[in-house]
Structure 1
């Protein structure tokens, strides 16, 4: 049922006095009967008693009338809701029937984006969220999928059980195969899990998918019980476990075991399309996998992903009919009048606040250049927060259509109360200047401020760069490719701060855990060993970070929802005090669809708001085109 019908129902459930009077009139009680009745002289006890009795009777009549009116109103509401539900069901049936008759099968699903594959096509060794939202799901299915509220749905596994707090049993769909014809059975899932556990022995250039690392680190054991049943046992209670099987990136996206060594360049999974070709930086092509478990809902024979770095070029090509779906440029999406004109021409524009947000990382490498070690001083990190006006960035970059950060996790997670803002002390540029001066770095804040050269990320970073300049931070803004910027981030040698996107999916632990691991490993020339040495020496930065990590682990071992909310509040207090990263803003994501695009169900399912945008890969099941 549509949101409009939902809000209409909610409105009807609030009974106004006027509606109560109308209902009471239908019940035979007039307005006078609803009023309190009482009269008589002060000296007339009998009159007072009679008046009291009359008033009591009137009140009883009023209560009876109100009860009758409410019952009648509720009956009418229930009847109307049932009629609406029946109408919606009928409309959906008609729409699906129409889809079956009008849908064009064959042809090519054509998309365009700037998110070129960064580390290849092996889901275990690519850390890029862009890869896992765009190209990876074309070739690989997960064990589980998710709905718009973030609840688990079947995918390769048709069912799952959680018999106790640490055991997860998955039942695979029978007859599944990889693109090379190899069976997707429990044994192959176990082989994939063995590879995850031994990832450190893999010869890979990229940083491994951190959720896969988490899945391996929190596992006690796993095994194939029979051909279609696979069991995973955690080494302790770990509340986010199930979400690791359906998040993006997922902890496990099964690869054909015969293709482990070549998956980076030639993916062989069990997804809806099989790999054809990739021309680096230009185009990725694929063909429909006929043995896909949901093949009847894949209407296209081919898939084409054209890589166009400039969002305006993408948009013009889309309007010219070159593509079926494209991201709407951030500046254009904020223009309601232009979007209305586009929709009048038959295009469909869907969008919402993404769960992807932007946050600031600091180069805290103790062995780095002296001018960059200033970020180990918490006053300098807090100065960044105080100098940043998040609402002004939202207005300047996105016309106020996005959401500002309120915690070191995404604002879309239900584990963050809606009335809580851990950064309500900003903006305060005057206080930022005082902190810089107290730290002794006035006039000395320089270096590279890195971000990705993609819309909408740079749209939000540019006004932030200007705000920091106003308090004397003379950064050189560098906009580069995802792979290039991330390589510099991990090296921690030649930049000051980095403003990067970070997706915040269903459970905050999925972002916090790799963040905490990274803060203890990425920024140290000596790796984790150097971090441990500084921790043992009592260094304030490392001691505070370790306490935050302890609170995070405590939260992950808590399964009660309300208790987890409280635990996260304790974690936030320590993390925000340390200002280990400074979140800035979520950005809006909007997609445009060509006039001929339809869906077998609700067109809005093409947008997965709970996890940002599900990525153009998740738009494939059920989407088709008609002649226009």
Structure 2
């Protein structure tokens, strides 16, 4: 993808004394402190040009189980907080750019060479060499269940700053996959047992404190290879509820918040006080069908439900964004214009249910078959405003076609999704995290894959996805991705709802708070507070 999304907007910190003054005066927290007495001014003059340390309070909408990037999805927290870095990363235009590696080349279909940037050090001062990178990647593959399937490495060799990776098969998506935060580079020569609370990485900020499920304290790393950050310290607070994050920003508790609920954006329209950066995201809101449920095992029934909801209305009226057709947004060049999704066709939905033998024989408005009522359990995350709004609309519209939808909300949906104890599961994922279709197709749609939690299986689709691994021609990869998406849609394996917009809202004094299409980036060394 090579187009930048439209921007609508582009943090100061204070000493303890100013915080006390602000608390008394009811002002905001992003102002630079000044001395309040002539004696203090004289003392400052004697010191020369003393600079008041700057601090920011930033709200995170998600916090992993701990800070070890090799475990679960915790690396995303480290890249959002600018604690950790990968060899390469995506910029705001979804283009791969150098990070710890300054150059790379594909030697042949299974061999890649990376040059590790000179002058990069870990937060403990140790030099980042190719051998250090090799050991960090090996650790991630060993500790994380998705490691080997994300990077099918046959061998790695390191000499000085040169790293060579050989894969077990031709693997065209290696570059995008190695940019995934699972592969944040850490110093494995340090005490890795402490990485759950204090990882030793390479980013512009380093961890000074961590309270699980609450917050991370960081300070700038003076030895950062690209120059020390302007902000001295940051507190990253975990505030999972959309509305609560908005209230915290409005009250002055925080200076920057990402993913503020759309119903709350009106609170921040005063450009003299706030800056809003909202862009189309690569995040797709969708529903898993539990295909192991007899009520949902037939594609005709899943198609009927897919025809029974009005995606255009959800996007245009309820939550913003764009009505979804398939797993990948129109911003990704993966064949969006070549696939046919599901329009809102309630009469078609009713006809399909009739043909599948589901009819309302007792006149209560809900269809049944062989004495079993068409009642389905939908689970969703209670913290996400857009999911709650869409779920309520779905419940109303599906009732019109004779399907009874019962909803259960959870604060954390992960375990419930993987348990399989549901009929429908509403969630959203970033489908462009590697800038390539293979990653998502591998992990969400292949038979038996880690996140194919609905039990969907199609041998023809599996074979098609496998072709992506060895196809290096970009246009042909996109054609294969379009073909794969249409198979998924024809089977109604999932129900794609909307492509949701994402945003970052900051106080107007904050500069450099920029929203990226891939939402595992949030902060970097350029974050600062205006004077």
Query: Which of the five TM-score ranges fits, normalised by the shorter chain?
Result: 0.7 to 0.9
> What secondary structure, in the 3-state scheme, does the structure 2 residue paired with 1:565 have?
helix
Q: Give the direction of change, closer, same or farther, for the CA distance of 1:125–1:354 in structure 2 (3 Å limit).
A: same
Preserved contact between residue 491 and residue 522 of structure 1 (Cα < 8 Å): no
Q: Give the direction of change, closer, same or farther, for the CA distance of 1:157–1:3 in structure 2 (3 Å limit).
A: closer
Structure 1 residue 230: Cα displacement: 0.8
Query: Which runs of structure 2 are paired with 1:399-438 in the superposition (5 Å)?
Result: 401-417=320-336, 419-423=337-341, 425-438=342-355
Structure 1 residue 500: Cα displacement: 1.2
Aligned residue number for residue 44 of structure 2? none
Task: State the distance in 2 between where 1:363 and 1:326 align.
Answer: 34
Which residue, out of 86, 105, 123, partners 2:69? 123
Query: Which runs of structure 2 are paired with 1:332-351 in the superposition (5 Å)?
Result: 332=263, 341-343=269-271, 345-351=272-278
Aligned residue number for residue 151 of structure 2? 216
Structure 1 residue 386: Cα displacement: 0.9
Structure 1 residue 281: Cα displacement: 3.2
Q: How many residue pairs get matched?
A: 471
> What secondary structure, in the 3-state scheme, does the structure 1 residue paired with 2:324 have?
coil
Q: Give the direction of change, closer, same or farther, for the CA distance of 1:546–1:161 in structure 2 (3 Å limit).
A: same
Task: State the distance in 1 between where 2:408 and 2:126 align.
Answer: 46
Structure 1 residue 142: Cα displacement: 0.7
Residue 168 (structure 2) pairs with residue 168 (structure 1): no
Aligned residue number for residue 389 of structure 2? 459
Aligned residue number for residue 142 of structure 2? 198
Task: State the distance in 1 between where 2:335 and 2:355 align.
Answer: 33
Structure 1 residue 356: Cα displacement: 0.7
Query: Which runs of structure 2 are paired with 1:364-379 in the superposition (5 Å)?
Result: 364-365=291-292, 372-379=293-300
Residue 497 (structure 2) pairs with residue 575 (structure 1): no
Task: State the distance in 2 between where 1:300 and 1:597 align.
Answer: 10
Tell me the TM-score normalised to structure 1 length.
0.69
Preserved contact between residue 88 and residue 178 of structure 2 (Cα < 8 Å): yes
Task: State the distance in 2 between where 1:373 and 1:125 align.
Answer: 35
Aligned residue number for residue 530 of structure 2? 626
Preserved contact between residue 383 and residue 435 of structure 1 (Cα < 8 Å): yes
Which residue, out of 229, 233, 253, partners 2:184? 253
Q: Deviations over 1:332-385 (max 9, x none)?
A: 3675xx65x422x242111111111111112234xxxxxx33222212221221
Structure 1 residue 228: Cα displacement: 1.3
Which residue, out of 144, 155, 180, partners 2:124? 180
> What secondary structure, in the 3-state scheme, does the structure 2 residue paired with 1:139 have?
coil
Aligned residue number for residue 218 of structure 2? 286
Task: State the distance in 1 between where 2:472 and 2:73 align.
Answer: 28
Listed as ranges, the gaps of 5+ residues in structure 2 are 7-50, 359-366
Preserved contact between residue 151 and residue 174 of structure 2 (Cα < 8 Å): no
Q: Deviations over 1:452-502 (max 9, x none)?
A: 2223333333323332233232222122223xx11121121x211101111
Preserved contact between residue 67 and residue 78 of structure 2 (Cα < 8 Å): no
Task: State the distance in 2 between where 1:524 and 1:569 align.
Answer: 22
Q: Give the direction of change, closer, same or farther, for the CA distance of 1:373–1:476 in structure 2 (3 Å limit).
A: same
Q: Which has the higher contact order (CA 8 A, sep 6+)?
A: 2
Structure 1 residue 515: Cα displacement: 0.6
Preserved contact between residue 402 and residue 588 of structure 1 (Cα < 8 Å): yes
Aligned residue number for residue 37 of structure 2? none
Query: Which runs of structure 2 are paired with 1:195-594 in the superposition (5 Å)?
Result: 195-199=139-143, 208=144, 210=146, 212-217=147-152, 219-224=153-158, 226-246=159-179, 249-257=180-188, 258-296=190-228, 298-327=229-258, 329-332=260-263, 341-343=269-271, 345-365=272-292, 372-398=293-319, 401-417=320-336, 419-423=337-341, 425-441=342-358, 442-443=367-368, 444-453=373-382, 454-482=384-412, 485-492=413-420, 494-505=421-432, 506-517=435-446, 519-520=448-449, 542=457, 545-594=458-507
550-559 vs 443-452, which deviates more?
443-452
Task: State the distance in 1 between where 2:213 and 2:68 align.
Answer: 17
Residue 61 (structure 2) pairs with residue 108 (structure 1): no
Q: Give the direction of change, closer, same or farther, for the CA distance of 1:377–1:319 in structure 2 (3 Å limit).
A: same
Larger Cα-atom Rg: 1
Preserved contact between residue 110 and residue 322 of structure 1 (Cα < 8 Å): yes
Q: Structure 1 segments of 4 or more deviating over 4 A?
A: 2-5, 133-137, 517-525
> What secondary structure, in the 3-state scheme, does the structure 2 residue paired with 1:573 have?
helix
Task: State the distance in 1 between where 2:429 and 2:530 align.
Answer: 36
Task: State the distance in 2 between where 1:558 and 1:235 align.
Answer: 15
Question: What is the RMSD computed on CA atoms of the aligned residues?
Answer: 3.0
Preserved contact between residue 139 and residue 272 of structure 1 (Cα < 8 Å): yes
Task: State the distance in 2 between where 1:272 and 1:209 align.
Answer: 28
Listed as ranges, the gaps of 5+ residues in structure 1 are 6-103, 200-207, 366-371, 526-530, 532-540
Tell me the TM-score normalised to structure 2 length.
0.80
Structure 1 residue 320: Cα displacement: 3.1
Preserved contact between residue 214 and residue 251 of structure 1 (Cα < 8 Å): no
Q: Give the direction of change, closer, same or farther, for the CA distance of 1:250–1:113 in structure 2 (3 Å limit).
A: closer
